[in-house]
Amino acid sequence: MLAAVTLCVILGVLAVFQLALTLGAPIGRFAWGGQHRVLPARLRIGSAVAIVIYAVIAVIALDRAGAIDVVSDVVSTVGMWVVFGYFVLGIPMNAVSRSRAERYTMTPIVVVLAVLSLLIALG
């Protein structure tokens, strides 16, 4: 349960970050390759979609941990392994970013999210 709550807290912080990007905050160097101080429209849409993805991940994690019962056990079990794979894929993607700020900030965060999602998937 602790891993799921921790994962959700981190996702909540990331959702606030993505919302700030969506609204035009000049912090684009931390996301989407760091090429833009303020994100262009297409990347702002991507940030908005990321918020929805974070919410879905939170529901799956909390369901898998037994805190809520929204989806079937099969969906939460398989879904959590998909989430784990998603975060594992995010590690090298952030690690090779041209943006130093993104590499040094987001890579460790995604590593933590991958570990937490693994713990939740293992149940």
Assign 13 to helix, strand or coil: helix
User: Is 21 in contact with 28 (CB distance < 8 Å)?
Assistant: yes
How remote is the C-alpha of 21 from its chain's centroid? 15
DSSP code, position 24: T
Work out the pLDDT band at 77, boundaries 50, 70, 90: very high
pLDDT in tens, 78-120: 999 999 999 999 999 999 999 999 999 999 999 999 999 999 9
For 21, 28, 34, 88, the CA distances from 37, given in Å and listed in that order, are 10, 4, 7, 27
Give me Rg for the CA atoms of the chain: 15
pTM, to two decimals? 0.93
pLDDT in tens, 2-43: 999 999 999 999 999 999 999 999 999 999 999 999 999 999
Torsion angle, alpha carbons of 59, 80, 30, 111, to 10 = 130
Tokens of 46: 């991507």
Distance from C-alpha of 39 to C-alpha of 107, rounded to nearest angstrom: 20
Tokens of 52: 């929805």
